[in-house]
Structure 1
Amino acid sequence: MMDRKIVSVFFILLLFLGESLQGAIKSIGLPVIKNFTKQDYSAGTQSWAIAQGRDDKLYFANNNGLLQFDGVNWNTYPLPNSSIVRSLLVGDENRIYVGGFNEFGYFDPDQQGRMVYHSLSSHLPDDEKNFGEIWRIYKFKGQLVFQSYTSLMLWDGKTFRILHPEKDELFHFSFKVNDRLWIDNRAEGLQELVNGRLVTLPGTEKIRGQEIWGILPFPGNRFMIATQNKGVFLYDGKEMVAWDNEADQLLKANRVMGIAQIDGDHYAFGTISHGVVITDSKGNVVQNISREEGLQNNTVLSVFVDNDHNLWLGLDNGISQIKINSPLSLIGFNNGVGATYSAAIYKGKIYLATNQGVVYHSWDPDKKIKRLGRFTMLNATRGQAWSLEVFDNILLVGHNAGAFQIINGKPQQISSVIGYWGFRQVPGHPDLLIGGHYNGLSLFKRGPQGWKYVREIEGFKESSRQFEFDDKGNIWMEHGYRGVFRIEISEDYTHVIRTELYGKKEGLPQAMNVGIYRLKDRLVFLTTDGVYQYFPSTNSFRKSQTYSELFGKLKGLSYIREDKRGNIWYFRNNQAGVMQKQPDGTYRSVEMPFRSLSGRFLPTFEFVLPVDEQDVFIGYDDGVAHYDPTFIKSWNNKFYTLISKVSVIKTDSVIFYGNGLQKQVSSIPYRENDLRFYFAAADMENIGHVTYQLKLEGFDDDWNNWSGRTMRDYTNLPEGDYTFMVRGINRYGVESAPATYRFTILPPWYRSVWAYLVYGFLFLLLVWGIYYFIRWKMKRSKEKEANRQRELYARREEELGRKQLEADKEIIRLRNDKLRNEMVHKEKELANASMEMIQKNKMLNKIKNDLKKATENITDESLQARLRSILRRIDRQVDNEKQWQIFETHFETVHEDFLTRIKEQFPELSPKELKLCAYLRMNISSKEIAALMNISVRGVEISRYRLRKKLGLQRHDNLTDFILRF
């Protein structure tokens, strides 16, 4: 009953003291250190100042510009003159004020989330623009203060007011403390800005001319003033005294470069040569973390405490995060410790069984600050050590090389049997131990010189790593591959009487990897399906109802251990936890403090060493972790999930740069409908340990599965309105509010508003066209019908005309036939006339010839005269010209234009030759032609010859055929 009251009072005190305990700094072990090299953040080596934005992004005044970190991505924003950024201040509305060489101003996100620089130094008068480096920026009484070595510039938003040190001296640094602005004047000493004037503070003569690197509030309404060379002083406004203690001596030796207040009782000092020194207000050094402890550089230029109460250091080469706000700290490589399999507190020392051997360090449970440095190796135990256990005030070591005992700090090998896993005291026989090793069991007995190896226990040769005694003295041993053995040993513990193997047939859900532990003086068996117990009455196993209710839904238990206060420590699925016993006897499961070590425990070799209320040691794969249960830490701190960048995949162009809030819905052309989203969680407590869930409203029906990826592509998005949402969840189960990015995929040009307007216009135009087309069609139809009627009429007319034409043609044909007949008739008449003319001429010529002969024989003149008269009359009858005229007239009638055509083509033809042509056209023989022409046949032949020549006929050409074809 008294114990329960004490526990109740303890928890009530914890409840009331929670706020004061928040952020306490652990001194045992080392906090987790995360180093970022310049290759990680792709910027300059040095960072001169650090600040955190309202969205939890971190900003660094870096050699290459303003360096930004959102928990995943690093971005650098250089100054226009590419100078080093020496100072920064997070202002209102996401403005980041920065100062460099002869340049200062602020970065402000534009509508696309791009950080745009706005210069304020450009508003200075020309004679004030050569001010050098800006080392400090403050917001002070509604004004911005920019401080360089040569001037103090106060900006009210419109104009500057500038103060210079007197006597051509220089300022060093300035400090804002409790809404007071102090300036280190190298000539005048420490001064304060009061009503626009610099007033020297009384009692600060001791540090005049010294470089002051930090001023912070200190308990008792005092101020802590850290100088680089003279150490730390405390100032109450009137008097200044040296902070003469362990911390001050260390800081003097290593020179302070920066200072930050961690909480009301702890301070962090950055040094030039020994990393960061963390002290309490009494001057005790709680931690000194340098390169030896895992820091990547010993020169600390800037110190900053983030919203999660962890330290960020700007180093001379790189950036580091130190997780001081954690109940867990690590003892590992930097302490000379490897993977740890067991631990024990023994005679003022802590011993660790590691993969390299047994190491130790002094341990004083009454000392408030138990800083653990480098552990010392027990050389005789080098090699794989498996276990450390204290029996009868002697520390035993289970080792790969055998069994050892440690007396007065010195190890002694007590057995050379290979591979001892561990030891168990025989119930009822405190002077006997059973040791389990790779090939069976050994017996040990307590003697004057400690524990002594007796013999091997015969009859069992299996590897015996994990075993326990039951109430009847039997040994239960778990074999990792075969199952669970129950071993009955002889009374003298020299040999095994009987063994029995248990597995699935006996009720266990599995045969392999069954854990055997003692809980509340009972043997329990840990399986993947929960906690089982053995029931002798049935010689079988069943799930324990008691422990099933205790552990509830905790599946996959692989280790349990009950401490002196009734808390039950356990491991499951490579995670650690503790069932904390409450004042009312119930239990509460606590796993949050151990989440940072999840996945780092040694499977089947887990262990916990609870020492007292403030000290618990837990083995992991690189050493041993120290856990302080009294360390109060909030595990439900909110964090922001941020959209870092949105880009178009096709063109690799950025449309949102991730700074500030989205100010308007983005309109994206349809041709750029492939988008890539980058996102991050500004959870500086869980860098790299946040998973994300995504949803694209308008595309996804539900949230996607949780994933550790920080980028997502969406391709071929149809037109429409979308909202991209992403939220994160850290390893402590804290879920962030979703970050959103709204955008609209515009339709393609052929589905745009203008296109639809054009379509509407074209539709109206089409309707109008159809209307007029129908009208035109009807008109055309009417016209066609009229034309058809006209065509019918015309065809009828044409038909009638054609018939008339045919009739006319027939008439013409008949006329032509008649003419042709007439021509034939006339030709015949011409031929007949010609023949008659020929006959007549022949007759007349004959008569003429006869009369000529008769005239020759007549002497009568009168008669001769009479005869000559007759001859003349005959000559007139055979006159060729007259006959030719008559012939020509008839010839032209039959053979139209023959003589005209031949005269046109052959104009050199004589009249006689034309006559010959006409006679030949009539196909009259040469003899008949001779009669007609009143010449001889020979004369006709000569005429024909001459005609051929004039007509250009060859010898083989027929003259008559030529005349007939002409």
Structure 2
Amino acid sequence: MCVIHHTLKDDLTAQKPRACALHITRGNPPGHPIPDGDTSSPIRETACRCWPHARAPVSTPAVAFPPRAPEPAAKQFVMAARWPRSLLMALSCLLWLGPAHAEALPAASSRAHTADVGVPLLRNFSPMDYGAGPQNWAVVQDKHGLIYVANGDDGVLEFDGDHWRRIAVPNRSTVRSLALDADGRVYVGCVGELGYLAPDDRGRMRYVSLLDRIEPRYRGFADVWRTFAARDGIYFATSRTIFRFNENHVAVWKAQTSFHLTFLVRNRLYVRETNRGLMELSAGKLKMVDGGERFAREKIYAMLPWGETTADGGGPMLIGTRTQGWFIFDGHRFKPWKTEADATIKRDQIYDAQWLANGRLAVATLQGGVILLDRQGHETGRLRRADGLINDTVFAMYQDRESGLWLALDNGLARVDMASALSYFSPNSGLDGSVLSIGRYRGALYAGTTKGLFRLQHGKDGNAYFSRVPGIRDQVWDLLDMDRSLLIGTSMGMFEFADGSARLRLADKTVYSLLRSSQDPSRVFLGLSDGVETMRLVHGHWLDEGRIPGISGEVRSLAEDAAGRIWISLSNDGTVRLTLPDDWKTDGGGAARVEHFDTPHATSMKTGDALVYNIAGAIRFATARGIYRFDDRSQRLVVDPGFAHLFAQGARQPSLLSEDNRGRIWMYTSDDSDTIKQTGAAIPDPGGSYRWDPRPLRAFSGMGVSAIHADKDGVMWFGANDGLYRYDPHAPVRYSKPLPALLDKVTDHAGHLLWGGAGQATPATLPWADNSLRIEYSSPNFDSSMANRFQVMLEGMDTQWSAWSKETYRDYTNLHEGDYRFRVRSRDAYGNLSKEATYAFRVLPPWYRTWWAYFAVLVLLGAIIWLGFQMRSVTLRRRNLALARLVAARTRELSASHRALQRANAALIDLNITDALTGLRNRRYVLDHIEQDVAAAQRGYGKLARSGIEDAQQHIDLLFLMIDIDHFKEINDRHGHTAGDRVLTQMRDILQAATREMDTPVRWGGEEFLVIARFASSEFGTAIAERVRSMVAQHAFDLGNGQIIHRTCSIGFALYPLLADVPQRFNWEDVINIADQCLYAAKRNGRNCWVGVQSRHKAVTADIAAGLPVNLDALVAEGYLQLLVSPAPYRLP
């Protein structure tokens, strides 16, 4: 017997070559084993007994111990003294180890643990989220990207990234297993049922039973625990029977005892039969594999490929058992495969295992969540309830196309983003409060939060965790590595952390920022809530040098340029440049030079400050309008040209600038309204400019970030309110193209299903009464699914794509008849566009706009006409003789009717040219008849061409008199439109009384009237204008109800032809226009007056006349017209 003092965690207990039985005691009497999970007693010794000729390994598990507190110095000395003897004992014991019986773990020094990796990003789905029973047993993803889940209570669940749907199975049977074949069909194994999913004629996914294809004598089975889609058919495995469906043939294999679990490895089926062992289905028969008897009473929960596939399609396999650990089976022998988690897996009870795309092995357990192992057996992490998982009981796992790991849980579901470069430290990891600062000291990562300082440590289970640094429980604003110690700026002062303890070096001051001087590395600048202070390290002690005069206000950031000048950001008070002389100190020596600079666009900034950073070897300022630099020539802050076009969507406020080892500048950005919150990297281009790339951190787009830190190896850290995020730039970038956008459901206005989204959609035809519908759509991109956006367009109505939106449905109401084609496309978190999904449909017209309705109307009209014609013909024939005798009388009656019709037509024509209110002629009358009067005037001038023009004017001119009632609008406003109508009718009476029978009063429009006087002259015009003016002025207008008002009018007149020498130059419309201008001249002259014009007989040629304007002022000014103004010198004869 060899005895090893087991003072460190090792794996000798897990290595059992040649049946090496190891007995571990923790202060218990020798010979008494420790109960599983008991870690309370100190370790005393490990006894190793080796039997070289034993065949079966003893199943005593390895025990994993938690980290131990540091031992007292004396105890450490004693333990160190024991090490040589312990090492010799271990080596002597290892001489018995043989390579044929165990695959040992590599040495600890060769492990590739990444101690500071957090928990992968995960999303939990509770039963309330998906609306079904708590237990889930299997997950698959179809060719469209949809996720299907085997639910314990509510059949199969379908998830498209936005909507959950339930697919019922007969008798609400529990669904235990799912499988996807090469054609994309999902097969379902239930309790007492089996079948597949297929769309019905309306596009709804339905369960189709295959039970009727099984002979009745084999139908009495219970749970279908496993379903596989293999090359030779679909397998359904129960505890008593295995079924294989291949086209129309069903093969059946019965268990001699009972089957436990079935596995499909490299397209070969294996099953463990209770009390018999591990069997393989080969050549249509179940045969025991070599050495498979060893599992007669040992349950197997995992069988996976191991290594390369051989030429015959076989190859080694990894087998996971409940109590004996792991084995590698090469087809002939079983070699143990030891892992660091063997004891944990045995304790937490393995239930499933799967190789992940990143090469890790995920092990699902019933009590401890998921354990992650690498191919060397090292534990690289865990996913448990303590790490954010909704439940620790994992029944099954499935990795989707985006490498997300779906976990079917006892109470819910979860999806873990295993391929993401991001990992996460939540409050469950030991962090308390919102992260404000991040830094490293002596290789360890420290996070300062609103509630203290925390150090990242590597856990015994592969998951890193944070532990609190004692003595600091205040807000930690900044961290500074001083090589010998870590300086900590807090709301209570500055602490120094060294040798495991923190000491307060500056009390009762809020320290927001820390900066170590490159000119004097012993000096540290402290940005306070009310200025800047310096401290120096002198002979191991900190000397407070006091405040720098001339600087006040809250200091949020400090930076030093290449010349040693200190740049200081003051909250809401611009920027300060501080220059210290070589002999500077606060109590003597040269004076510090303090220069203040205003922040650009300070009035429009959220805070008015410019945060200062030393980035890419230069000082840069983060403002609300972008990134600026200092221009030495103009002595002011100007836009940095390298960042001028960083944000294409408008100005943003960058902050927390941090440069990584590849020159990328990481920062947090937001707009003025905080609507856009985005963290990303400014990538340098060869030309010296930068381009913005937010894709690596899309997972927390929209989240506020309060701290950024860059490790020397390029790993980035981001502090937020809900924890700490780690980004590994060395991880493979997978900005994959998104899965196609999917149409989920189309319903009419009443919610009736038109198409369920599954299968091939046929164009729908909607009646006019159902011309409103809702179309739901989705995108099964599960990485950062909250960032999925959609664009839609309805061809037949829209002319362009809609704006991007997160809405997953679109309503259309009251669509006009026609053919439509709905199109939708999605954009994932990385900006990739999907393929379009389309849905065509037609809206029928209402019955009265259908072709048959039009045809029916035509037929009906034709029938009526034909019937009328026939009836008329019969009547005419019957009355032919009577009509012959009465022809004369009928002729007279027809003549009378004709004359009456002519009168009626004349009345209609007269009505069309008559104003309905006043009975006067209207504007249409003038348009229809004025040409006759114009022609008469022109003929008169032709006949009197040889006589004097003056004589002609006295007899044949055509006078246009425009009359407007002054202040008529007041009548309508004060007394109403009825009163206004009464005034207009009385105005008609005045005009009819004032004019001759041959004159035509016309209501021109509104309160305007036109009088057309034939065979008139200018003298006649002045006389009739004065008569109308005086009659209106003297008239008392009766508004009804005893109301009497007085009103005046304004009058303008002109004669046609306007110029006697060139009568054709101005047509009658021009003359009316001149008369209207005279009217408005009368208005301007004070109203209650008239203004007219007459020709001055100024000689004018046709060429000159062609250039004359239709403008009163111009014609009067040039002497062609004479202005006549009331009162008129003549009276009417």
Using the size of structure 2 for normalisation, the TM-score is: 0.63
Amino acid at match of 2:710: L
Secondary structure of the 2:225 match is strand
Check the 8 A contact 1:27/1:287 in 2, yes or no. Answer: no
Sequence identity (%): 28
Check the 8 A contact 1:29/1:371 in 2, yes or no. Answer: no
Check the 8 A contact 1:219/1:264 in 2, yes or no. Answer: no
Measure, in 1, the Cα distance between the counterparts of 2:114 and 2:209.
41
Measure, in 2, the Cα distance between the counterparts of 1:226 and 1:552.
54
Structure 1, residues 254-274: CA drift from partner, whole Å, max 9, x if none? 111111211372111110110
1:210-249 equivalent positions in 2, closer than 5 A: 210-219=298-307, 221-249=315-343
Superposition deviation, residue 333 in structure 1:
1.0
Measure, in 2, the Cα distance between the counterparts of 1:122 and 1:754.
49
Superposition deviation, residue 492 in structure 1:
1.8
Measure, in 2, the Cα distance between the counterparts of 1:768 and 1:92.
69
1:115-134 equivalent positions in 2, closer than 5 A: 115-134=205-224
Alignment of 1:413 onto 2:504: yes
Aligned counterpart, 2:375? 281
Aligned counterpart, 2:14? none
Superposition deviation, residue 348 in structure 1:
4.0
Query: Given the alignment, which residue of 510, 519, 542 partners 2:615?
Result: 519
Measure, in 2, the Cα distance between the counterparts of 1:695 and 1:508.
38
Check 1:486–1:43 CA distance in 2 against 1; reply closer, same or farther (3 A cut).
same
Secondary structure of the 1:246 match is coil
Measure, in 1, the Cα distance between the counterparts of 2:401 and 2:195.
25
Between 1:217-226 and 1:71-80, the stretch displaced more is: 217-226
Aligned counterpart, 1:569? 666
Measure, in 2, the Cα distance between the counterparts of 1:143 and 1:753.
54
Check the 8 A contact 1:401/1:416 in 2, yes or no. Answer: yes
Alignment of 1:290 onto 2:400: no
Check the 8 A contact 1:394/1:450 in 2, yes or no. Answer: no
Measure, in 1, the Cα distance between the counterparts of 2:241 and 2:298.
19
Measure, in 1, the Cα distance between the counterparts of 2:723 and 2:881.
106
Alignment of 1:309 onto 2:403: yes
Secondary structure of the 1:134 match is coil
Query: Given the alignment, which residue of 274, 277, 284 partners 1:186?
Result: 274
Aligned counterpart, 1:355? 450
Aligned counterpart, 1:628? 728
Secondary structure of the 1:572 match is strand
Superposition deviation, residue 716 in structure 1:
0.5
Check 1:61–1:545 CA distance in 2 against 1; reply closer, same or farther (3 A cut).
closer
Superposition deviation, residue 518 in structure 1:
1.2
Aligned counterpart, 1:87? 177
Secondary structure of the 1:381 match is coil
Aligned counterpart, 2:165? 75
Measure, in 1, the Cα distance between the counterparts of 2:347 and 2:151.
27
Amino acid at match of 1:608: H
Check 1:380–1:670 CA distance in 2 against 1; reply closer, same or farther (3 A cut).
same
Aligned counterpart, 1:755? 853
Check 1:439–1:113 CA distance in 2 against 1; reply closer, same or farther (3 A cut).
same
Check 1:520–1:67 CA distance in 2 against 1; reply closer, same or farther (3 A cut).
closer
1:466-505 equivalent positions in 2, closer than 5 A: 466-470=557-561, 474-487=565-578, 491-493=584-586, 498-504=594-600
Structure 1, residues 323-364: CA drift from partner, whole Å, max 9, x if none? 111011012212122322222221242211111110012379
Measure, in 2, the Cα distance between the counterparts of 1:539 and 1:699.
58
Amino acid at match of 2:669: R
Check the 8 A contact 2:601/2:625 in 1, yes or no. Answer: no
Measure, in 2, the Cα distance between the counterparts of 1:705 and 1:784.
81
Secondary structure of the 1:190 match is strand
Aligned counterpart, 2:232? 142
Query: Given the alignment, which residue of 520, 534, 538 partners 2:630?
Result: 534
Check the 8 A contact 2:364/2:396 in 1, yes or no. Answer: yes
1:154-193 equivalent positions in 2, closer than 5 A: 154-166=244-256, 169-193=257-281
Superposition deviation, residue 396 in structure 1:
0.5
Check 1:690–1:144 CA distance in 2 against 1; reply closer, same or farther (3 A cut).
same
Between 1:674-683 and 1:131-140, the stretch displaced more is: 131-140
Structure 1, residues 421-454: CA drift from partner, whole Å, max 9, x if none? 1122345222222211111121201023343433
Secondary structure of the 2:781 match is coil
Check the 8 A contact 1:295/1:320 in 2, yes or no. Answer: yes
Alignment of 1:600 onto 2:703: yes
Aligned counterpart, 1:904? none
Check 1:504–1:87 CA distance in 2 against 1; reply closer, same or farther (3 A cut).
closer
Structure 1, residues 349-403: CA drift from partner, whole Å, max 9, x if none? 2211111110012379xxxx99453311123110211011112532110101111
Check the 8 A contact 2:442/2:483 in 1, yes or no. Answer: no
Superposition deviation, residue 509 in structure 1:
9.1
Check the 8 A contact 1:405/1:451 in 2, yes or no. Answer: no
Amino acid at match of 1:280: D
Measure, in 2, the Cα distance between the counterparts of 1:785 and 1:270.
109
Check 1:656–1:553 CA distance in 2 against 1; reply closer, same or farther (3 A cut).
closer
Check the 8 A contact 1:385/1:398 in 2, yes or no. Answer: yes
Structure ranking higher on relative contact order (CA contacts 8 Å, 6+ apart): 1
Can you give the 5+ residue segments of structure 1 that lack an aligned partner in the other structure?
A: 1-23, 796-966
Bigger Rg over Cα: 1
Measure, in 1, the Cα distance between the counterparts of 2:275 and 2:601.
90
Measure, in 2, the Cα distance between the counterparts of 1:312 and 1:26.
25
Measure, in 1, the Cα distance between the counterparts of 2:495 and 2:836.
58
Aligned counterpart, 1:106? 196
Measure, in 1, the Cα distance between the counterparts of 2:299 and 2:669.
55
Using the size of structure 1 for normalisation, the TM-score is: 0.74
Query: Given the alignment, which residue of 400, 406, 414 partners 2:491?
Result: 400
Between 1:201-210 and 1:639-648, the stretch displaced more is: 201-210
Structure 1, residues 791-848: CA drift from partner, whole Å, max 9, x if none? 899x9xxxxxxxxxxxxxxxxxxxxxxxxxxxxxxxxxxxxxxxxxxxxxxxxxxxxx
Measure, in 2, the Cα distance between the counterparts of 1:243 and 1:176.
21
Query: Given the alignment, which residue of 594, 606, 610 partners 2:711?
Result: 610
Structure 1, residues 930-957: CA drift from partner, whole Å, max 9, x if none? xxxxxxxxxxxxxxxxxxxxxxxxxxxx
Query: Given the alignment, which residue of 47, 50, 61 partners 2:136?
Result: 47
Check the 8 A contact 1:388/1:397 in 2, yes or no. Answer: yes
Measure, in 2, the Cα distance between the counterparts of 1:785 and 1:403.
127
The number of aligned residues is 760
Superposition deviation, residue 566 in structure 1:
3.5
Superposition deviation, residue 588 in structure 1:
7.0
Secondary structure of the 2:786 match is coil
1:629-778 equivalent positions in 2, closer than 5 A: 629-649=729-749, 651-662=750-761, 664-769=762-867, 771-772=869-870, 775=873
Aligned counterpart, 1:890? none
Superposition deviation, residue 523 in structure 1:
1.6
Measure, in 1, the Cα distance between the counterparts of 2:210 and 2:115.
44
Measure, in 1, the Cα distance between the counterparts of 2:573 and 2:868.
91
Query: Given the alignment, which residue of 531, 547, 551 partners 1:440?
Result: 531
Measure, in 2, the Cα distance between the counterparts of 1:546 and 1:156.
65
**Structure with the largest fraction of helix:** 1
Secondary structure of the 1:375 match is strand
Between 1:211-220 and 1:73-82, the stretch displaced more is: 211-220
Query: Given the alignment, which residue of 312, 320, 327 partners 2:421?
Result: 327
